[in-house]
Amino acid sequence: MSYLAENVARLRKARDISQEDLAARAGVGIDTVARIERGTRTSCRPATLNRLAAALEVSAIRLLTGPDSARTRAVADTQALTRIRQAISSSREIPGLNEFADAEDISIGGAARQTSLAWQHYVAGRHTELVDALPVVLDDARRLVDSAVGDDKARAHRVLATCYRIAAGIAGRLGQEDLAWSAAERSLSTARHSDAPELQQAISLRYLAWTLVRQGRGVEAERVATRAAESIQPRMLDNEPIRATVFGNLLFNAATAAVRVNAPGRAADLLAEARSAATRTMTEVVSEAGIFSLRAVALQEIEHLTKTGDPETALQRAAGLHQAPGRLPAFWEAGNAIRLASASVATRQYDNAIAYLEHAHRLAPDWSQVQPLAVGTMRQLLDRATRRRGPRFAALATAFGLG
């Protein structure tokens, strides 16, 4: 089927209008619309194309081209990426690269508080606020490292290492894996001089392993994550929630990497170890160091079931999620809802898929609407819609950039 056929049908359904309505709005025959959507007519006169585009409130070129990646391009092409790159690569050792060199001094407590706020922006998916703040936050932390003495210098290194990790996270979200690697590597180097070097290095290695996964280097990612987990593994009677959290998150990274290299059995074993640690320590942590609880483990297990082609079991597990304790960030819960929407489409439970996508969008609208899996799942629902599904469905399609 041609792009023209797919796009006209999808956009018409997203606007909740019939073929007759579209034909009337465009001033063309109903048979013209029907033949275009069936794919028996793969081209049309420029005037007809323009009329259809106007009726659907899009450009003519959009009707003729492949899947719309405008949302992704918009993110990459804006000043966001430039500012993130500036924030990560800025250095007081290179004249002209430090835009905020004359900024006011800040205390370690103040730097820690603004770093915490930056992480809250990150975890909530508030990318605009984070991108705006990050260059200043990073520069303040660098200046603290330069000026602090004694114990304060080690604490300043911890703040800076945290800033670099947040930068690695947002760079990865923007699809800039090499930039994310650079930030995570700087975080690791900085963490070695912090007031908790073992723990801080393990946290930084978690971001490095995550970046390796995104780069498609699954074998290396699993090796880095498992070795870091071994170095930080809580002892049997240990009751340090942050140590358990970092350990558990490294196991999450290793399990994700194992799935990427087609080793689901190894991934299941790693998640079983994470579940054991969460059960033994009863940890419930949501912080920059990591996100860990029995509920976090449950969501990881569901994710891996969807990635290994077992949507039925994933949906069955989801039915018992209310019994899994733990408080998780909105984007974690939204990500789980998106995966369950995809699993629902795979099992032809289309109403459930719509409900899951709506839930994801309510939880984290800015974050969820740029997730490729969410957009792809919404596209599948549009393509498979055999009847008009009403304004609720149309609004959801618009929310995911397909209206």
Evaluate whether residue 211 is within a structural domain.
Answer: no
Q: Which of residues 38, 66, 94 is at a domain's end?
A: 66
Average pLDDT, the chain: 87
Q: Which of residues 164, 195, 226 is at a domain's end?
A: 195
Residues 257 and 340 reside in one and the same domain = no
Residue 355 pLDDT > 70? yes
C-alpha–C-alpha distance, residues 247 and 281, integer Å: 12
Residue 43: the pLDDT is 65
Evaluate whether residue 60 is within a structural domain.
Answer: yes
Residue 2: the pLDDT is 67
Residues 125 and 187 reside in one and the same domain = yes
Residues 80 and 191 reside in one and the same domain = yes
Q: Which of residues 287, 313, 339 is at a domain's end?
A: 313
User: Environment class of residue 7 by beta-carbon count within 10 Å: exposed (0-12), middle (13-18) or buried (19+)?
Assistant: buried
Residue 98: the pLDDT is 61
> What is the arithmetic mean of pLDDT over 153-166?
96
Q: Note the pLDDT tens digit of each residue in 235-275.
A: 765 678 899 999 999 999 999 999 999 999 999 999 999 99
Evaluate whether residue 105 is within a structural domain.
Answer: yes
What are 287's strand-pairing partners? 290
Residues 228 and 286 reside in one and the same domain = yes
Evaluate whether residue 151 is within a structural domain.
Answer: yes
Question: Quick check: 1 and 64 in contact, CB under 8 A?
Answer: no
Residues 298 and 266 reside in one and the same domain = yes
Residues 398 and 303 reside in one and the same domain = no
Domain that holds residue 94: 73-195
Evaluate whether residue 367 is within a structural domain.
Answer: yes
CATH of the domain at 19: 1.10.260.40
> What is the arithmetic mean of pLDDT over 90-115?
73
C-alpha–C-alpha distance, residues 206 and 189, integer Å: 14
Residues 354 and 308 reside in one and the same domain = no
Q: Note the pLDDT tens digit of each residue in 283-334.
A: 899 999 999 999 999 999 999 999 999 999 999 999 988 888 888 988 899 9
The number of distinct structural domains making up the chain is 4
Indicate the SS3 state at residue 338.
helix
Residues 188 and 77 reside in one and the same domain = yes
Evaluate whether residue 269 is within a structural domain.
Answer: yes
Q: Give Cβ neighbours of residue 144 (< 8 Å, ≥ 6 apart).
A: 106, 108, 111, 152, 156, 159, 160
The count of residues in the chain is 403
Residues 93 and 191 reside in one and the same domain = yes
Residue 384: the pLDDT is 87
Residues 167 and 78 reside in one and the same domain = yes
C-alpha–C-alpha distance, residues 152 and 145, integer Å: 8
Residue 387 pLDDT > 80? no
Q: Note the pLDDT tens digit of each residue in 121-138.
A: 888 877 767 876 788 789
Evaluate whether residue 102 is within a structural domain.
Answer: yes
User: Environment class of residue 308 by beta-carbon count within 10 Å: exposed (0-12), middle (13-18) or buried (19+)?
Assistant: middle
Residues 226 and 168 reside in one and the same domain = no
Question: Quick check: 49 and 27 in contact, CB under 8 A?
Answer: no
Residues 39 and 143 reside in one and the same domain = no
Evaluate whether residue 207 is within a structural domain.
Answer: no
